Structure 1
Amino acid sequence: MAILFFDLDGTLIDSAVGITRCVAYALEKLGEPVPADAELRRWIGPSLRDSFGPLLGDSARTERAVELYRERFDALGWTEHEVYPGIAEAIEGLHADGHRLAVVTAKNEPHAVRILDHLPFGHRFETVSGATIDGRISHKPELIAAATERLQVAASACWMIGDRRMDIEGANHHRMRSVGVAWGFGGEDELRAAGATQIISAPAQLRPLFA
């Protein structure tokens, strides 16, 4: 039996449309130029403040950008995603095999819970560890620590599964093993450079990996 922590965006769901449209909405409202789609996709994974901050260079405007992002996300953005093919079957199979499952995401926790509640396999996760609204807890090392505390497990007994370097680096921080998923937004080169324990290219590989 393994304890498996899953990232959300880029691992369980393809949320590129919702996230990039909400970023664009916030920047437009602030009168800022909107980067090209390829650049916007790089915003998927890090915390919002880590992405808006360097661009806006002002803490008050950064907070306003986060508010505007959430304004659109609450209304529409949270629905703008698709489950990756094969993920539902992988999650159901891992649960049937007796593994414990949780979600660890830099998305704010209420939004993450809302999305999971509407996924057909969302109830298979014991907890959702997401960022606090004020951003006090928003980085993967902190989010992983919160998940291990809630489940009362040692990090050494867990695996972190995600598509970006932040997922792998968070696992490395806790000396956890990790699985990089190449179908998301980071890609195999990023995952390898971050030091992923394993890299897989399809959800169907998850269940056999933990058999």
Structure 2
Amino acid sequence: MDTIFFDLDGTLTDPKPGITGSLQYALEQLGRPVPAQDELAWCIGPPLRDSLVVLLGGEVDADRGVALYRERFGDVGLYENSLYPDIAATLAALKPRARLFVATSKAHVFADRIVDHFGLRPHFDHVFGAELDGTRANKGDLLAFALERTGTDPSRAIMIGDRSHDIVGARRNGIDGIGVLYGYGSREELTEAGAVHLCATPLAIAEHLSAGLN
């Protein structure tokens, strides 16, 4: 059976208000300059701590920044989020023909709550995410773990995501990556990362994959 791994942020849901608002909160608490939310959109997708290291100009205060981010995100930012149009219909079309999993750099304790909040649990066999200490925040490490846990042949799997990290992590594990253009990565970013196909809408994912699924 074919296996499909879905990224969460920027692929299944649009998390911009919650992520950028929580980053603003962390930066404000640290007494650092606070960019506008639009200027923080590039932080959606990569591992949180990596983005904070860039924002803070180094490792100093990065761990404290993660803690402050989660202070707001765990109570408020988690739900400042919305499903992209037609996600439920796309998953419903694919579910009878493939095993579906979430594979996100977000800590799984948050990812699980988001999946449940939007009623997506019935579509997925499991949600794979990072540990709170940053273990498996790298998408390549996460997918290696997921492949082992699910007994998946990489040649029979697809990774779907909106950022280069999704595609690069997939390729590292011998998985083809499909990029989505409605999230936060550009066409150029996804193409240069090695995406085998690009989809402009969620429904286009199901349409593209339908021919290759058993």
Work out whether the TM-score is over 0.5.
yes
How big is each residue's C-alpha offset from its partner over 1:65-96, in whole Å with a ceiling of 9 and x where there is no partner? Answer: 00010010111111011100011100011013
2: distance between equivalents of 1:95 and 1:67? 36
Give 1:66's aligned residue: 66
Instruction: Report the Cα offset of residue 122 of structure 1.
Output: 2.4
Rounded to whole Å, the distance in 1 between the matches of 2:37 and 2:114 is 23
Separation in 1, partners of 2:204, 2:176: 16
User: Which residues of 2 match residues 25-104 of structure 1 at below 5 A?
Assistant: 25-57=25-57, 59=59, 61-96=61-96, 98-104=97-103
Distance across 2 between alignment mates of 1:198 and 1:150 = 26
**What is the aligned residue count?**
210
SS at match of 1:136: coil
TM superposition shift of 1:155: 1.8
Q: Which amino acid aligns with 2:7?
A: D
Which residue identity does 2:194 align to in structure 1? G
Aligned twin of 2:13: 13
SS in 1 for 2:100: strand
Segments of 5+ residues of structure 1 without an aligned counterpart are none
Alignment-derived partner of residue 158 in structure 2: 159
Identify the residue that residue 131 of structure 1 maps to in structure 2: 130
* Equivalent residue number for residue 178 of structure 1: 177
Contact 1:163 1:180 survives alignment (8 Å):
yes
Q: Which runs of 4+ in 1 moved over 6 A?
A: none
| Partners of 2:17 and 2:37 within 8 A in 1 | no
Conserved in 1, the CA contact under 8 Å of 2:21 and 2:37? no
Q: TM-score, normalised by structure 1?
A: 0.95
Distance 1:193 1:116 in 2: 30
SS at match of 1:75: coil
Structure 2: stretches of 5+ with no match in the other structure: none
Percent identity, please. 44
Q: How does 1:197-208 map to 2 (within 5 A)?
A: 197-208=196-207
8 Å Cα contact 1:116-1:123 kept in structure 2 = no
